[in-house]
Structure 1
Amino acid sequence: MIALLSAVPAVAAVGTGIASTYLYRYAFKRLDKAPKGSASNPDPDSKFYPSFQWLQNQPKEDWWLNETDVNNRVHAYFVPNPKNKTKVALIAHGYKGDATSMAASAKLFFDDGYTVLMPDDRSHGLSSGKYINFGWLDRLDYLQWLQKILERMGPDIQIVLYGISMGGATVMMMSGDDLPHQVKAIIEDCGYASVEEELTYQLKHFFNLPKYPLMPVVSSINKIVLGFTLEHGSAVAQLHKNKTPIFFIHGEKDNYVPTSMCFENFQATSAPKDMWIVPNATHAKSYWTAPKEYTQRIKRFLCQYVPAETPAQPD
C-alpha cells in the first residue's frame, strides 16, 4: 500500500506532462491549410469573397524577412496605393489566419487612400515556423516591417497599425516598444490582454479545466520551444509604456476573447484613447456586424491623429 501511494505523485506528474504536451500542440501548432469557408478560403457566396477576390486581383508585391533562411523567413504582401503615397496601414491577422484573411480590412484602408502591408505571421501563410507565438515574437518582425516601409516610401509618411484578435494583441504588444515617429495611431480589434490570460480563459471556457497544473507546464514547454514564458507575452504590460493614440474595438458578445479584456487593455494605457463595444458582435465580427459604422468610427478616430487623413463625408 505504501509503495502504491508513493507512486501516485509520479503518475499524476506523468499525466500532467502528457496533457500539457497535448494542449501545447493543440494550441500552438501551425495550421497548414485554411479551412474551406474561412476568410482565407471563402466560398463564392460568402461575405468574405468579394474582398478576397479584390485582394487576389490587386497589384501587389511579395516582401520577405530572412528570405534565404527557409526555417525563419517571414512573408508579407505589399499593396501600393497609386492615389496616395503618404499613408500606410500595417495590418496584423488573427490566430491561424493569414494575410489574405485580412482582405476586408485591407480594402477598408486602401479605399481610404492607404498603401497596405499585410504580413503572414510566423507559422502562418507563406511564412516559416512550426509553432504559433501568439504575437509576442511577431511584434519583433513587425518592427522590421516598419523599417522596410520607411526604406521603400521615405520618412515623410504616416503609419497606422491595425490588427484583429491575435493581430490586435500583436499591435498592442508593439505599442510599448520603440516605434518610429511615423506611427501615428493604433487600432486594435478584440485583442487579448496576455497570452497566459487568454489560454487560461480558453482552458476553462472550452475544456472546463483550471489553470493549475497544466498552464505552468505549457508555459515551460513554450520557454523551451519558442524562448519565452507565457506571462511575458503581455499586451497589458506593453500598453503601460504606450504613448501612441489607440482605438479599442470589441464585440459585446465575444466569448472567445472575453469583452472584459478590452476594458483591461483600455485601462492599461494613459495615451490618447477611445473604445467602442459593438452591440451584438461576436469574436472578430465587429466589422461584419456594423460595417458602415465601423468604417466611420475608424476614420473619425484617425482624423484626430493622422494629419493626412481626410474628414469623413456626411451621410
Structure 2
Amino acid sequence: MKKRFTLGLPLLGAAATTLLASEKLFNFAFKRVNYVPETSAEKQKYADNYYAYVDWYHAVPKHAWYLHEHDARNRMVAEYIPANPASNQTVIIGHGYKGNGETMANFAKMYHDLGFNVLLPDDRGHGESAGKYISFGWLDRLDYLKWIQQIIDRSDTPVKILLFGVSMGGATMEMLSGETLPPQVKAIIADCGYSSVEAELIYLLKRQFHLPKYPIEPLVSTISKRRLGYYLNDVTSTGQLKKNTRPILFIYGEKDAYVPVGMAYENYAATHAPKQLWIVKNATHAESFWINPARYRQHVIEFLDTYFTPKQP
C-alpha cells in the first residue's frame, strides 16, 4: 500500500499542476482587463495615423446608447455617431479582443465618410460594458441582436444595417450571421475572424506557449462551461455561417500569425450565401486596412455597391 501511495504522489502533483495551469490560462484568455493592451511591435509604425483617427473620434458628435442601462451587472454600452447629412444606413462595428469601440476609430471614420450612422458597442468584459469574462463573440452575438433591434426601434424611417467586425469582432459577426436576423440587416463584412474559439485556442496554445491540445484545452473548456455556459467546441463561426443567408465579405491578411489564413478558407467554404474573399498580400493580423486604407475603402465600396446598395443598371 505504501509503495502504491508513494508512486501516486507524482501523478497527483502532475494533475494539480495541470489544473492550475488550465485555470491560469483560462484567466489569461477570458478574464476581462480594464485597459487596452499595446499593439504589436509590427504595427507601431501606424501609431500616428491611428491616433489621428482617435482624435477625430473624440471630436465627432456622438451619443451613448445602452442595453440594460439600470442594471450595473449586465449593462452594455455603445457610442452612436449619427451620419451627417442624415442617413438611413447604419453600420454596427465589432471590436477586437481586449479592445473597445474607440479602437475601431479608423473604421468608424471610414464608414461615417461613406454616409453611414455608426454604432460602436463595447462587448462583454470590455471597455465601459459589464462582464467579468470575455466570451469571444459567442454571448456577444446575443447582445448584437439587441443592438440591431434598438437601431430599428429608434429609426423614424426604414433602415438598412451593415454588420462589420475585425478579429474577435469579425468572428462575432460570423457567429451572429447564423441567428434569425431582421430583414433590415442587408450584409456582413468580417475581417480576420477565426473559424472557432476552440481552434483558435489550440492554435495559440502551440504558437505562444508551445503546449499541445491535451490535456489543457479540455480543462479550459470545462472551466468555460462552468463560468460562461458553453464548451469551447460549442462555439464555431463555421457552424453559424452554414445558416447565414446574408451576403458576406471575408477579409484576411496573407501573413496573419494569430488567425491563420487557413481559417479564411474554412469560413468561406462553410458559407452558402453570396460571398467574397479578399486575401490581402503581406498583411499580418488586422493589418489589412493599415497597409493601404484607400484600397481597403475601395474594396468595401465595391462590395457595398454589389450587395448593400446595388447600383441601378
Structure 1-normalised TM-score?
A: 0.94
1:184 pairs with 183, 186, 193, which one?
186
User: Which letter maps to 1:28?
Assistant: F
Q: Which AA in structure 1 matches 2:50?
A: F
Which of the numbers 142, 152, 172 marks the counterpart of 2:154? 152
> What's the CA shift for 1:15?
1.4
* Alignment partner, residue 123 of structure 1: 125
Mapping of residues 34-183 of structure 1, within 5 Å: 34-35=36-37, 46-154=48-156, 156-183=158-185
Q: What letter corresponds to residue 271 of structure 1 in structure 2?
A: A
Q: Distance in 2 between the 1:103 and 1:310 partners? A: 28
Is 1:225 the counterpart of 2:233 in the alignment? no
The answer as to 2:277 corresponding to 1:244 is no
| Equivalent residue letter for 1:62 | A
Alignment of 1:194-205 (within 5 A): 194-205=196-207
Q: Is the helix fraction higher in 1 or 2?
A: 2
In structure 2, the partner of 1:306 is: 308
Partner AA of 2:281 in structure 1: P
Question: Displacement of 1:68 after TM fit?
Answer: 1.1
Deviates more, 1:151-160 or 1:93-102: 151-160
Specify which of 6, 23, 32 is matched with residue 21 of structure 1: 23
In 2, Cα distance between the equivalents of 1:168 and 1:45?
A: 22
TM-score, length of structure 2 as denominator length: 0.94
Q: Which residue of 2 aligns with 1:2?
A: 4
Q: Is the 8 A contact 1:121 1:127 kept in 2?
A: yes
SS of equivalent to 1:62: strand
Q: Which whole-Å CA distance do the structure 2 matches of 1:37 and 1:238 have between them?
A: 29
Does the 8 Å contact 2:23/2:220 carry over to 1?
A: yes
CA change 1:36–1:16 in 2 (3 A) is: closer
Residue 296 of structure 2 corresponds to 294
Task: State how far apart, in whole Å, the 2-side matches of 1:82 and 1:297 are.
Answer: 23
> Conserved in 2, the CA contact under 8 Å of 1:81 and 1:110?
yes
Cα distance, 1:245 vs. partner?
Answer: 0.3
CA contact (8 A) 1:190 1:251 kept: yes
Q: Would the aligned equivalents of 2:250 and 2:268 in 1 still touch at CA under 8 Å?
A: yes
- How many angstroms does 1:161 deviate by? 0.2
Identity %: 49
Aligned to 2:214: 212
Could you report, residue by residue, the CA deviation over 1:228-255 in whole angstroms, capped at 9, with x for unpaired residues? 1111121010001011000000000000
Judged with a 3 Å threshold, the aligned counterparts in structure 2 of structure 1 residues 263 and 43 are, in CA distance, closer, same or farther, namely: closer
Distance 1:43-1:269 versus aligned 2 partners, 3 A rule: closer
SS at match of 1:47: helix
Aligned residues: 307
**SS of the residue aligned with 1:295?**
helix
Please, which moves more after superposition, 3-12 or 76-85? 3-12
The Cα of 1:226 is off from its aligned counterpart by: 1.0
Deviation at 1:37, TM superposition (A): 6.8
Listed one character per residue, the Cα deviations across residues 127-163 of structure 1 (whole Å, up to 9, x for unaligned) are 0111111000001000000000001114611110000
Gaps of 5+ in 1: none
Unaligned runs of 5+ in 2: none
Q: Which moved more, 1:231-240 or 1:150-159?
A: 150-159
